Amino acid sequence: MNRIQFVVVVCAAALFSSLLLIDSAAAQAASQPAASASSVKLPVAGVITLGVTIAETDLAATGWRASKLLKTVVYNDKNEKIGHIDDFIVSVKGELTIAVVDVGGFLGIAKHLVLVPVRQFTTFGAPKAILPGASKAELKKLPEFQYTQ
């Protein structure tokens, strides 16, 4: 058997075994009953598996609880007290984006709430948040924020 004949025999054998595999798969599929529409589980838009990932668990272990950040005192970079965190605004994407800072009066009298993007704080965590370059007077010049009812 010369080299060309050998290559032809090998190719024929490979083609024959491929045809057997295809025929076997087709026979197996034909022997199984067709799935009814009610037994097929299709993915549903907007449905996710509940729970947290390992990365999210690590983030929770090193992050701050929102309840501990409420009423956190806000200082500027000169260590002057300029207000406290009254609330937070979470975006529709689930990101903490805005801090509602109270720069008003004593014991809730003459409250003056303003919105400050969280990214502007250099330090953010209980018991202190630092807002560099800010002063109580400058924050009071910002538009007053009022909660919608």
In a domain, 5, yes or no: no
pLDDT, one tens digit per residue, over 17-45 is: 444 445 554 555 555 555 555 566 665 66
How far is CA 7 from its chain centroid?
57
In a domain, 81, yes or no: yes
> Which strand (E) or helix (H) includes residue 101?
strand 96-102
| Per-residue confidence band for 141, with pLDDT thresholds at 50, 70 and 90 | very high
In a domain, 80, yes or no: yes
In a domain, 121, yes or no: yes
Above pLDDT 90, what percent of the chain? Answer: 40
pTM of the predicted model, to two decimals? 0.61
Number of domains in the chain: 1
Query: Does residue 117 surpass a pLDDT of 50?
Result: yes
Distance CA 131, CA 120 (A): 6
Strands 128-130 and 73-75: parallel
In a domain, 115, yes or no: yes
Residue 15: phi, psi to the nearest 5?
-65, -40
Structural domain of 99:
66-140
Q: Mean pLDDT of all residues in the chain? A: 76
In a domain, 50, yes or no: no
For residues 71-90, give the mean pLDDT.
94
Query: Does residue 53 surpass a pLDDT of 70?
Result: yes
Kindly report the CATH number assigned to the domain that includes residue 82: 2.30.30.240
